[in-house]
Amino acid sequence: MNPKEKYISTLIFKHLQGICTIQESRKLRNWIEEDINNKKLFNRCINFDYIKEDLALLNSFDAKKSWKKRKKYKRLLFIKWFVAASILLGTLLFIPTDFWKKGAIEVLSKNKRKPVNSQIQNNSVQLILADGKKIKLNDPLELNTDTFILSGKNIIPVVSSINSAEKENILEIQVSNTKIYSFTLPDSSKVWLNSNSNIQFPSQFNHAQRIVSIQGEAYFEVKPNKKQPFIVKTNLGDIRVLGTSFNIKNYNNGFEATLVEGNIEIKTKKYTKQIKPLEKAIIAQGEIGLYTADLEKDLAWKQNIFLFRNDKLSEIIPQIENWYGIQSQYKTNKTPDETFSGTINRDVSLKQIINILNHSSAHQFHIQNNQLIISETKL
């Protein structure tokens, strides 16, 4: 390949990442428009099925074939270089940890596709008012006072038929599957909610403390205020904050808190622990364990990606369940112990995730009645 072709393959990758500069985007567009074959090649580069097909064809290609097929060989070399550029620049590869031993690699594109549940995308975040009224949210939410909510350009009353003097005015935001939602609390603290998560908070914090309740996963950037501690309540324990950035995961299968900066204190019925920056606390069986945090991995969901580093299939499946809103069932003699490494953009469809698993694992995966079925080793 000549330098120009290598440069174009890099631009295509950066285009998929959404990191092209204006000048680079213009160059890529000009290249696509100058030749119909360039457009066809571009379309193949952004389609996982075509990449897989071309790599397989390249492995069996006979360079002594006709000139027409040599032109195809040139296209295949371009695809191969595009894949190599993707690897070097950090794009998606989802591969078994021991793939080098197998002498093969399953290459998976990071092409953004509509989520499988795209039909409910705009309805997947809702605000529940104190009187039970539900409001769909399509824009980032900013709360200003205890009497109204500013959602985009719309002012939504918080107190409707309910008397705020009789009952505390608690709001709730619920995020469904295939969705991440960010908003600002009344004290200007910022929150990011992962899929299948919800948070409860008052429309206006009192002067003594700021209390929120979380179920699911959330990332907080808390506005410092020593006179008004920030407290996150969960079913397993509370987190007391003065001003900090941290991630909390509180699903049914466990509790984790990862501290990015500042300081937090975790309190359970039995223990109280101070957490330092770059530490992760895990509550299991009533005990609080402290570990070194992998911030890139722990916060990958906030960047809208799955990130796996030598993770077991049993650790990966729950993340897929949570994001796509499905359940799984193992039809195997024992839980698979395969490990995988790689990143996957969360915008891919559930169908594509199944394809990724089937091409990367020794097991078989399929969807049946909204369940992910994991079957025995493929023949």
Q: The pTM is what? A: 0.67
**Six-digit token string for 324:** 């796509």
Percent of the chain with pLDDT over 70: 67
Residue 110 has pLDDT above 50, yes or no: no
**Six-digit token string for 37:** 């074959």
Give whichever of 126-130, 195-199, 251-255 has the largest mean pLDDT.
195-199
> Contact at 8 Å (CB) between 256 and 225?
no
Q: What is the pLDDT confidence band of residue 191, given thresholds at 50, 70 and 90? A: very high
Question: CA-CA distances (angstroms) from residue 164 to 46, 141, 167, 186, 205?
Answer: 54, 22, 5, 17, 14
**Six-digit token string for 335:** 């839980």
Which of 237, 162, 246, 152 has the alpha carbon at shortest distance from 203? 162
**Six-digit token string for 344:** 């996957």
Percent of the chain with pLDDT over 90: 28
> Contact at 8 Å (CB) between 148 and 126?
no
> Contact at 8 Å (CB) between 258 and 237?
no
Residue 313 has pLDDT above 60, yes or no: yes
**First-to-last C-alpha distance (Å) of the chain:** 38
> Contact at 8 Å (CB) between 308 and 340?
yes
Residue with tokens 């409860």: 200
The predicted-structure confidence for 58-83, as pLDDT tens digits, reads as follows: 444 444 443 344 455 555 555 555 55
Residue 178 has pLDDT above 50, yes or no: yes
The predicted-structure confidence for 261-299, as pLDDT tens digits, reads as follows: 999 999 988 889 999 999 999 988 778 899 999 998 999
Residue 236 has pLDDT above 90, yes or no: no
Q: How far apart are CA 71 and CA 77, in angstroms?
A: 10
Q: How far apart are CA 42 and CA 47, in angstroms?
A: 9
pLDDT at residue 131, rounded to an integer:
80
Question: CA-CA distances (angstroms) from residue 155 to 3, 144, 149, 151, 184?
Answer: 55, 10, 6, 6, 15
The predicted-structure confidence for 18-53, as pLDDT tens digits, reads as follows: 566 778 878 888 888 888 878 877 776 665 555 545
DSSP summary character for residue 277: T
* Range with the poorest average pLDDT among 6-10, 137-141, 186-190, 192-196: 137-141
